[in-house]
Amino acid sequence: MPASKLPLLLAAFQYRFGRDLDTMTQHLVDDVAVGWEELGADLLDGAPPETVAALIGGGPRAQWPSRTLDDLITLDGSPPTRMTVTETTAAAQDMTWDTSYARTASK
């Protein structure tokens, strides 16, 4: 669930990336070929122990690395590519583009 990652991402923004949105975007979006399999505790590097404990618990089992989607195989054998959905490409990807949230959020 994407909303469940928000506290982790906010802490990463503050501590690991020093509130530098460009650096965080570079790491999470631009430097990744396809996407993330899992966002891990490494995003909390630099965070106080109390923050880490509150977000992921404690002990060595709570420390897991982020993992990218590296083991993807396409049907035709070509390298996998990132799927980007925009308002203009959504229909071609058999998806719907819902702008109702954007309208209600801006009120």
The pLDDT confidence band at residue 3, using thresholds 50, 70 and 90, is confident
Phi, psi of 37 (to 5 degrees): -80, -40
Res. 60: pLDDT tops 80: no
Residue 10 phi/psi, 5° resolution? -65, -40
Cα distances (Å, whole numbers) of residue 25 to 66, 77, 96 = 15, 29, 25
Taking a C-beta distance cutoff of 8 angstroms, is the pair 84, 90 a contact?
no
Helix (H, G, I), strand (E, B) or coil at 106: coil
Query: What would the mean pLDDT of 29-41 be, rounded to a whole number?
Result: 90
Whether the per-residue pLDDT at 47 is higher than 60: the answer is yes
Instruction: Give the mean pLDDT of 1-18.
Output: 90
Average pLDDT of the residues in 52-69: 82
Closest CA relative to residue 70, chosen from 62, 79, 83, 60: 79
What pTM value is reported for the model? 0.70
